Each structure stands twice: as structure tokens, then as C-alpha cells.
Structure 1
Amino acid sequence: MDRLRALEVFVEVVKRDGFARAAEALDTSPANVTRYISDLEAHLQTRLLNRSSRKMSLTSSGEALFERAKSILDDVAEAEAIVSSAALQPHGVLRINAPLSFGVLHLAPLWAKFMRLYPQVELDVSLIDRVVDIVEEGYDMAVRISRAGAASNVARKLATSHNVLCASPDYIQQRGMPRSPADLLQHDGIGYSYAATADAWHMLDAAGQPHSVRMPCVMHTNNGDTARAAALGGLGIIWQPTFLVGADLRAGRLQRVLPDYHLPEMDVLAVYPSRRHLSAKVRVMIDFLVQELSGTPPWDRVA
């Protein structure tokens, strides 16, 4: 018995909810599908499917095998795609979506190096802060910064994005330095419109105890650079990633606020539609970004 083929047939039967539909999808006969399922059950010495003339359902053993078999088949498909695409020269238009500020500050300086390595790839880069549907909008891949991951796509982590509270020295001098999260209620915040928690700022103290403050914001913006500029102008306190404000903190243009409190971190992800049939141009771009952003990311390195 070809066990890999048997697993493929079993998964297709479950997905298609029937032997005949699975046979059609696999371009084989229902008799062959029945034989594979029977041989697989005999090999495993357990029933995988409860079958009647009108209904089919998974047994508990079938449920366990189905989830694992799907994962195995995905891994096999990914390995085949890597091997087959390795022989292909990356070429053609590569459409990438990325967040605006991150794309300008940390991706734009990398594109020339990438294109020197892969001259037959033509980059088409769109910088948009909203989360796009990469399939619906025709992108080959996206770079995202998120705690939510990428539920409907496949993602590979590139780096960690650390968040901090900070304000200008002039603001701190005029309004005082907050000593606890509760002190933030006496200050002005600059809110980020795309934040999942809106104006609720969550953090952990040194003992791991959670604290939450609904920050009184005097301004909101959907762009991190605008929030940064407002903070540099002394308007208030911002919650922003170090990839945006790290240089300002090192130069003293901004000061950390509540540095002993830990803010949730975000993942910088390369997101693409599927592991199956991953094109050479997407594969080499992801590998390139992993290499460039590995270890301590550039925005957190001390020069």
C-alpha cells in the first residue's frame, strides 16, 4: 500500500464528504477510493469512517488522523515546492504590501541590495497601513506587524517589534514624569487609530502584574510618523514601536516614559497566501528579509 497516497485519498474523502466526489477530485474511480480507505483501516487496525447509504462521519481515530494527515501532506507539498522552485531563476514582477512607516524606514533601504542580487525580479511595492487581503488585491506577499498573526494566510516571522511609551523632554519638563500607569490619567496622549485596543493602554509591571489605563488623548492619527511628529512637538505621550522612535530615543529627542513597565510586543511577519507552489521570487525575498532582519533588528541596534 502506498501510505502517502492512502492518506491523500482519506483527506480528500473527508474534505469532499463522500467517496464519489473524492474520486472525481483525484481523477480516479470510487472503487479505488474505497480500496485505499479499506487498506488504510486494515493497516492501522482501526475504523476511520462510519459509513451508511446516506451519511458518512469520522470516528475518533479518524478525526485524529485527519488533522495529522493534512499537516503531513502540507509538509510534503512544501518540500516539493522548495525543490522544484530551487531550480528556477527568480524573475518577474513581485508585488509587495507593507506598512507605511516601516516600509519607508526599514524596507526601502534594502530594495537596492535585493535587486542587485536578483536583477530579473521587478519590485512593485505598495505602502498601506490598513491590513489588505493579499489574494483579493493581487499581492504576492505582505509584511505585517501584528500580534494576531495571519489567520487566513501563511506567515514567517522576520523580527520582533518592541513598543515603548515616550514623550519629548520639553513635555516631560512641563508636565512631569509619570511614575505609575495611574499617573498617565493626568497626561495627554496621542492615539493611534489602528490600534487594536484603541485608547486602552495595557502593560505589565516588573512583577508581571497587568495594568490598564484608558488614556486621555488630545489627538488621534492613523499614521505613526504623524504621532511621532506630534510627540516631538511636545503635544503628549505616544505608544509607538522602537522601529519608529528608536533613533529619537538614542538621540535624546524623545524620552522613555514608565521604562520599568513592559508593553506587548508585536511580530514582524512575511505573509503569503500558501506554502504550496511558492514561487521562486517570493521564496528568495522571504529568505532575504529573514537574513537582513535576523538577530537584534536594525532599529534596536546600538551603533
Structure 2
Amino acid sequence: MDRIALLKTFVAAANEGSFTKAAEKLDTSNQLVSKYVAQLEKHLDARLFNRTTRRIHLTEAGRQCLQHANHILESINDMEGQLGLFNAQAKGVLHVSAPVSFSTLHLAGALGAFQNAHPHVSINLQLNDRKVDVVDEGFDVAIRAGHLASSTLVAKKITTVKLALCASPAYLEKYGMPSHPAELKPDHYLEYTYVNYDNDQSELIRALKANAQKYTPRLTANNGEVLLNVAKQGEGYVLQPTFIAGGALKRGELVSVLEAFVPEPVSLYAVYPHRKLVSNKLRVFIDFLSEYFEDIPYWDR
């Protein structure tokens, strides 16, 4: 006896309220629907329907059975779909939102390698440093750094992001090397517009927040590379991720200061809507990025 076939027939009959309509939906005979329902009732030793000449009505046992049957059939569909993804070729258009500087400096190389590995996946990349609404704006996935608020979105870690407080050698020669956040000159801060350290209680962040309430930063911008370039000219200090500042630090154009006070590293995530099944194109994309960047990314090695 195929119990799955019995459950499918029972669910169709329950949803249609008629053996005849269930038979039409399943493209089978009225007699076979009646037979399968009777077999299920016999197997469960419970009456599932009260029958009249025109309609059928679920009994209390039938209502409970319908809940379990829907859950079982849904789980089977999910299993079949998920396992089928491993044999299916990744293809289609993937709509991606990502931060501007990370994309121009690092994601571009990863995308080229990804499309060499998966030539049937097309990428529609939209760059924006603001926090996009993944669902309402129609993205399959968004790349985000930092502490994520709880939501209905799923977040998969791609890599680790370190932060650095930087200033140029010329700036430090003129104003001195600070040994504590209290020694920072508040009006020399080069502030990134979209930064959000609400959950960070480090001494450096507390000092920056306190200064921001009293002083206007020398420069506020919504692009980290611009702020970094201004800092290289000796115009102030900037707090930036090392995927932006790493090159300048290695070349000696900037110097890392107050390292003991810099916030702990955060994570870079791939964030996508919570669904029962993740499309194959999205699954291979996230897996590829995780392998490409690794937990300690190349710019920090």
C-alpha cells in the first residue's frame, strides 16, 4: 500500500469537499478516490469523513489527520526539492545588493571567478551603502557587515571584518600619537555616514559618540574610500574596515592607532529572505563567496 498516495488522495478530497472533484483534480476515477480513502481509514482505524449524497465532511479525526498529512507531504516536497538542487545546474539571474567600497575593491574579483565557475548564472549587482529592504526591493541576497538585528532574514557568514582607526604619518607628527581615546581631537574625526555602532560599548566608540554630540566632524561622507583618501592627506583620523584601509596601512600611507581600543571584528554576511528552499543559484553563490574570502580574508594576511 502506497501511503503517500493515500495521503495525497485524502488531502485532495478534504480540500475539494467531494470525491468527484478530488478525482477530477487528481485525474483519476471517483471509485479509486473512494477506495484510497477507505484504505486510509482502515489503516488508521478511524473514520475521516462523514458522507452525504452530495458532500463529504471531515470528522474530528479527519481534521487532525489533515494537519498531519499536510505536514508530511510538505516535508516530502521540501526533501525532494532540496536534494534535487544538488544535481541541478545553477542558472538564472541573481539580484545582489552590496556595499560600494567592498564591491569595487574586492567583490568584483570574486564575481569574475564565480561566473567562470558558474557561467549560466547572471548577476544583477546594485551598489548601495544604505541598508536595503531585501524583500521589498526584490533582491535575492544582500551583502552586509556588522551586527545584524534579529529579523525574518537568514544570515550566512562570508568572512571576518576587522576595523582600524587610522591617521597619516604627517597628521601624527603634527598632533602626536594618541594613547587613549580621550586624547583624540573631536573636530578632526572623518565620519562615515552609515556607520552604526549602537550595539558596541567599546571605549573608543563611546568617545566618538560623546564627541559627536558636542562637535561637528571635519568631514562626513557616505563613502569610506573618500574618507580614507582625505585621511592620507593628513586632514584627520578615520575608523574604517581593513578591506578599505588595509592597502594604505601596508604601504605606510596610514598608521593604525589606538589598536587596543578598536572594536572587536565583525562579520560580513550574505543576508537573504527566509524561505523553505534556497535556490541553487543562491546556494552556490553564497558557498563560493565563503570559500573565496575565507574566515581570514586575503587583505588581512
Q: Which TM-score applies when normalising by structure 1?
A: 0.70
Larger radius of gyration: 2
- CA deviation profile, 1:173-230 (whole Å, cap 9, x unmatched): 11111111110146611111111248x995359xxxx953434421111111111111
Contact kept in structure 2, 1:175 and 1:187, CA below 8 Å? no
Aligned to 2:298: 298
What is the Cα deviation at residue 251 of structure 1?
1.0
SS at match of 2:202: strand
Residues of 1 paired with 2:93 and 2:149: CA distance?
26
Superposed CA RMSD in Å reads 3.3
1:92 aligned partner: 92
3-state SS in 1 of match to 2:260: coil
Q: State the partner residue of 1:218.
A: 218
Note the alpha carbon deviations across 1:19-44, whole angstroms, 9 max, x for none: xxxx87xx9975356434999xxxxx
Following superposition, the deviation at residue 132 of structure 1 comes to: 0.9
2:110 is the alignment partner of 1:115: no
The corresponding residue for 1:16 is none
Q: What are the ranges of 5 or more consecutive residues in structure 1 without an aligned counterpart?
A: 1-22, 40-69
Q: Is the 8 A contact 2:187 2:218 kept in 1?
A: no
CA distance in 2, matches of 1:134, 1:103: 17
- Letter aligned with residue 235 of structure 1: E
Correspondences of 1:249-264 after superposition (within 5 Å) = 249-264=249-264
Q: Contact 1:187 / 1:237 at 8 angstroms: preserved in 2?
A: no
Alignment of structure 1 residues 24-103 onto 2, 5 Å: 31=59, 32=61, 34-36=63-65, 81-103=81-103
1:170 matched residue in structure 2: 170
Which residue type is aligned with residue 88 of structure 2?
L
SS at match of 1:160: strand
Once residues 155 and 200 of structure 2 are traced to their aligned partners in structure 1, the CA distance between those partners, rounded to angstroms, is 27
Residues 154, 271 of structure 1: 8 Å contact kept: yes
Alpha-carbon contact 1:94-1:123 (below 8 Å) kept: yes
Cα deviation for residue 128 of structure 1 reads 0.7
Q: Tell me if structure 2 keeps the 8 A contact 1:94–1:124.
A: yes
What count of residue pairs does the alignment treat as equivalent? 242
Query: Is the contact between residue 146 and residue 266 of structure 1 (CA under 8 Å) also seen in structure 2?
Result: yes
Pick the structure with more helix per residue: 2
CA distance in 1, matches of 2:291, 2:58: 48
Alignment of 1:113-192 (within 5 A): 113-149=113-149, 151-185=151-185, 188-192=188-192
CA 1:173–1:183 in 2, change beyond 3 Å: closer, same or farther?
A: same
Q: Distance in 2 between matches of 1:220 and 1:265?
A: 23
Task: Give the AA of the match of 2:170.
Answer: D
- Structure 1 match to 2:281: 281
Report what 1:235 is aligned to. 235
The CA distance in 2 between the partners of 1:75 and 1:134, in whole Å, is 26
Aligned-pair identity in percent equals 33
Quick check: 2:165–2:240 contact (8 Å CA) kept in 1?
A: yes
For residues 38 and 219 of structure 1, what CA distance do their matches in structure 2 show? Answer: 60
Which blocks of at least 5 consecutive residues in structure 2 are unaligned?
1-13, 16-21, 23-47, 49-56
Which residue type is aligned with residue 183 of structure 2?
D
Q: Output the CA distance in 2 between the equivalents of 1:254 and 1:240.
A: 12
State the 1:74 CA deviation: 11
Q: Is the 8 A contact 2:165 2:238 kept in 1?
A: yes
The 3-state SS of whatever aligns with 2:112 is helix
* 1:266 maps to amino acid: V
Judge conservation of contact 1:95–1:140 (CA < 8 Å) in 2: yes
